[in-house]
């Protein structure tokens, strides 16, 4: 009887992964929304605490390692050093996204790929012609963990001339490799 009760309890508390990737991406953007407007680059310790529940252990570790590498560089160089990564690191556009819409996720075993339509509307400046909004797509990669689906990487799909390209994880690895 105890084994049956324990099995029922485990099933009730284990996340059902079938329909969760899109919800995990939405949870990520719920954290991202208010944080990305406070500045770009590698999130500081306070922001990393906020991001931690929605990111995979691997991506959380990469952010910590990249922040430590940035701190080592800053400590080595006495003059003011700009951050190695500036602007929004979670999207293709330097300014980041102000709105997003998660598309249909493709799930394969313990991973998922979710396309996300993103947009940014530049703030209006008195006396200047309004800039056009930017619209693009990125892909959020997720991994299934015992705690549910977690964001594991971002593929920058926009192809902007001055935006992020490749993957978030590759940029973070670059920062760590440059400042071992």
Between strands 148-156 and 134-145, the pairing is antiparallel
According to DSSP, residue 114 is labeled E
**φ, ψ of residue 107 in degrees (nearest 5):** -105, 130
| Residue 5 covered by a domain | no
Measured CA to CA in angstroms, residue 169 lies from 16, 103, 175 at distances of 27, 22, 10
Quick one: pLDDT band at residue 18, thresholds 50, 70, 90? very low
Residue 168 lies in a domain: yes
Is the pLDDT reported for residue 10 higher than 60? Answer: no
Any residues with CB less than 8 A from the CB of 156 and at least 6 apart, and which?
91, 92, 138, 163, 164, 165, 166, 167, 168
Quickly state the pLDDT bin for 80 (edges 50, 70, 90).
Answer: low
What CATH number has the domain bearing residue 158? Answer: 3.10.450
Q: Is residue 9 domain-resident?
A: no
Cα-based distances in Å from 96 to 16, 38, 61, 106, 160: 31, 11, 22, 24, 13
Is 107 a member of any domain?
yes
Lowest mean pLDDT among 8-22, 32-46, 74-88, 104-118: 8-22
**Position 6 in a domain:** no
Q: Tens of pLDDT along 108-166? A: 989 999 999 999 888 777 777 767 888 999 999 999 999 999 999 999 998 887 888 89
pLDDT, tens digit, for every residue of 43-63?
999 999 999 999 999 999 999
Contacts of 21 (CB under 8 A, 6+ apart): 105, 107, 112, 114, 142, 149
Identify the band that residue 169 occupies on the pLDDT scale cut at 50, 70 and 90: very high
Q: Which domain holds residue 170?
A: 21-178
Q: Is residue 103 a part of any domain in this protein?
A: yes
Q: Higher-confidence residue: 7 or 45?
A: 45
Provide the whole-model pTM: 0.81
Q: Say how many domains are in the chain.
A: 1
Domain membership of residue 10 (yes or no) is no
């Amino acid at each position: 009887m105890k084994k049956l009760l324990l099995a029922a309890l485990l099933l009730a508390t284990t996340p059902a992964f079938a329909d969760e990737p899109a919800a995990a991406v939405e949870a990520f953007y719920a954290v991202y929304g208010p944080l990305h407007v406070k500045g770009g680059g590698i999130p500081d310790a306070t922001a990393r605490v906020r991001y931690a529940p929605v990111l995979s252990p691997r991506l959380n570790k990469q952010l910590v390692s990249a922040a430590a590498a940035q701190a080592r560089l800053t400590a080595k160089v006495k003059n003011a050093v700009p951050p190695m990564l500036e602007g929004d690191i979670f999207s293709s556009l330097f300014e980041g996204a102000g709105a997003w819409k998660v598309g249909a996720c493709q799930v394969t075993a313990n991973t998922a790929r979710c396309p996300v339509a993103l947009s940014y509307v530049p703030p209006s400046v008195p006396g200047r012609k309004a800039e056009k909004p930017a619209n693009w797509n990125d892909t959020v990669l997720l991994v299934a963990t015992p705690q549910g689906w977690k964001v594991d990487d971002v593929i920058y799909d926009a192809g902007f001339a001055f935006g992020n390209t490749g993957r978030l994880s590759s940029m973070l690895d670059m920062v760590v490799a440059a400042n071992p």
